[in-house]
Structure formats: structure tokens, C-alpha cells
Amino acid sequence: MRKFVIIFFSAFFFFSCTKETSIEGGNKGQALGADCKPKQIIAADSATGSAILSILTRFDAAGRASSVEIYDSINNTSQFDQTLQYAGDTLRVSADEYFLLDAGKRVKEYSLVQDVNNAPETIRYKYTYDASGYLVKKELFSSSIPLPIPLIQFTYTWAGQNMVAVDGSVVIPGLTQKVFTAALEYDANAVAKNFLPIFPDAAEASLLIMSVDLGKKSRNLVKRISITTYNNLGVVDEILTTNFGNYVFSSDGYLVEWIVNGDEPGSLPFPKGKNIFKYFCK
């Protein structure tokens, strides 16, 4: 049986950049404002602070995401610049990719048409939130196996207002088999205002993570993520561990820098080394 896995976008090629050019850093010690949210992730050399790449979300005056750009700071070129379009409950990224939003503007579905063996295949996710607003389930469907039930189901475990585990399993009748698990650890003393959601399985939303709402975020800052992937037989294929630390805050409590080390953190948009965060404030 074909193994269904998390979609990893080709846009992640930019994580391979290694050369540096200088730019100004984040907002250490400065006050940002009362109503701010992340708009840019800058990957930088840990020792010098020199920029490597940028993921930028532009917002309109009302605070709605209008476009996403991936910028190569080495060659000073834009490698991806996509305008987001809204119509009713639909946030469209491209002709083949869109999100459906619920009444609270949270993501309720995601759809992508991709070419597989010269034939179009539609991948669709459905998202379920609990009464408190936390994401608790995500289901994956594929047009190549047209069943009325999901092929893979991801479940999320929350404790102490933090998302602590993810389990992804094939759930076709007669076959239950793991494809992905993750365990997340947090710094109980580190809390940041309105930081980004951390979902180590959410490759489908990675480049749009500053643009979409996936429900309530973890209360504390993550310090370690351990990811296990499984092969077609359900046997452990790879174990990855990524560490996060050296948090730097603005004077009013927003995270403006951290250091990522260990393994590349899968589908999260946080390359190893120094990450600088800039904010959009109303």
C-alpha cells in the first residue's frame, strides 16, 4: 500500500542557504506595542547575526494577511512572492491551493491539487477544535483513494495549555499504522506575547503560519521537539530532535530572537541557527 505522508513543499529549498549578508537584527529591549503579531522570520548566522533568508507576511491596515514572500538574502532576490486572495470563507493561495475558514476565521479545511505520476491528485485536510479552541484532530483525505473516511488522522494532546504530543496514523478500515509522532517540551518560565503556533506536522501551513489561524497557541515557549517518522511497514524510520533556546524578548514581552540547534525541525519554518522575529502592530 502506498504510504501517505505529510506534504513537504518544494519551497523548503531555501533552508539550504549558508552564505551570509549583513542586516539589522530584531527589537531587543524595545517596546513593540499592545497589539502585535509576527510578520517576519529571518534566519541569520548565530555568531554574526548576518541574514540568510526571510519569510515575510505582509498585512493590510486591518491586520489581514495579504501576501507571503520568501527572500534570498544572499543573492538579494525574491524566490517566492504570492498574493493571498479572499472570497467568502475561502483564503486562496493559488489556483491549486486554498484554505476554508470557519466563522471564527480558523482553518477548517485545506485543499491542494498536485501532480502524481502525471495525474492530478487532490489532498484535503479537515481540522477539528475542542470547545476551548484547541486543535485536537486533523484528517487527511486523497482523491486517489476515494473513501468517505480519512486515510490518515492526526491527534493532538494538550496539557497545561501546551500542545505536548502529536500522533499521525493511517486509519483505513482493517489497517491502523503510525506514520508520525512528535513530543514537545516547554520552558515553564518562558512565555511570549502572541507568538506563533508550533505544529511539527503542519507542513501544509508552514509558509502561511503567520497568515492563518489554527486555534489557540501553546502558552509557553517550546524548548525541544522530538519527531519520529515511520516507514510503510510502520517501523521507525527516523528520529529527529530539535532544541530551541536563548530566547530574547522585547521590553513588552514579545519574542524577538531564539537559537535553533540539533536536527532541522521538519515542517516548521525555523532553520537551525539564529531566528529573528519582526512584528506587525496595529
What CA–CA distance (Å, rounded) separates 261 from 274? 9
pLDDT for 26 equals: 54
What CA–CA distance (Å, rounded) separates 177 from 192? 36
Q: Helix count (H) and strand count (E) of the chain?
A: 0, 17
Q: Which of 70-79, 97-106, 227-236, 259-268 has the lowest mean pLDDT?
A: 70-79
Report the candidate in 100, 141, 143 with the shortest Cα–Cα distance to residue 119. Answer: 143
What CA–CA distance (Å, rounded) separates 126 from 177? 20
3-state secondary structure of 12: helix
What CA–CA distance (Å, rounded) separates 222 from 133? 20
Tell whether the model's pLDDT for residue 257 goes beyond 60: yes
pLDDT for 235 equals: 93
pLDDT for 97 equals: 96
Q: Which amino acid is at 63?
A: G
Q: Rounded to two decimals, what is the model's pTM?
A: 0.88
Q: How many CB atoms lie within 10 A of CB 132?
A: 10
| Mean pLDDT calculated for residue range 267-280 | 92
| Mean pLDDT calculated for residue range 31-39 | 94
- Half-sphere exposure in the Cβ direction for 73 (13 Å, CA): 22
The domain limits of the chain are 21-281
Give per-residue pLDDT as tens, 240-249.
999 999 999 9
Tell whether the model's pLDDT for residue 73 goes beyond 80: no
The CATH architecture to which 21-281 belongs is: Beta Barrel (2.40)
pLDDT for 278 equals: 96
Report the candidate in 64, 60, 57, 63 with the shortest Cα–Cα distance to residue 39. Answer: 57
pLDDT for 28 equals: 67
User: Across all residues in the chain, what is the average pLDDT?
Assistant: 88
